[in-house]
Amino acid sequence: MGGGGMYPNLFDAHPPFQIDGNFGATAGIAEMLLQSHIPAGESGPTPHFLIHLLPALPSTWPTGTVKGLKARGGLTVDLAWKDGKLTHARLTPSHSGPIKVRLGETIAELNGEAGKTLSLDGGLKER
């Protein structure tokens, strides 16, 4: 409470209230769980990006879930993991076309259909 840092709830402790610090912490956490900044080509009017699942999962979060992460290219992603490994992913694209997904060193290309959820279990195999 000495005029800087973060509170245990991850709010910024810098007086006066600094919204950019609060949003920055949230953005950093989202980037540890999902990244989508590498271009992976274009299909029609919508560019596509490589979707990297759990690129920097902290060892202190061995098990968890996250829902509603937004990836570039109009993709909503839900993830679940246990013992530091992906157990389930749901990808819902807003546009039809190819989706390149990376988990560790493995990359798979899936065919996405607008509004239709793709389910992946335990890796990059579609269920």
- Boundaries of every domain in the chain: 33-121
pTM of the shown model: 0.82
Residues 33 and 110: their CA atoms lie apart, in Å, by: 20
Q: Tell me the CA distances in angstroms from 19 to 13, 28, 29, 71, 74, one per residue in order.
A: 10, 14, 16, 22, 26
Superfamily grouping for domain 33-121: Golgi alpha-mannosidase II (2.60.40.1180)
Q: At 35, list the tokens.
A: 């990244």
Mean pLDDT of the chain: 87
Quickly state the pLDDT bin for 1 (edges 50, 70, 90): very low
Please write the tens of the pLDDT for every residue from 49-87.
Answer: 999 999 999 999 999 999 999 999 899 999 999 999 999
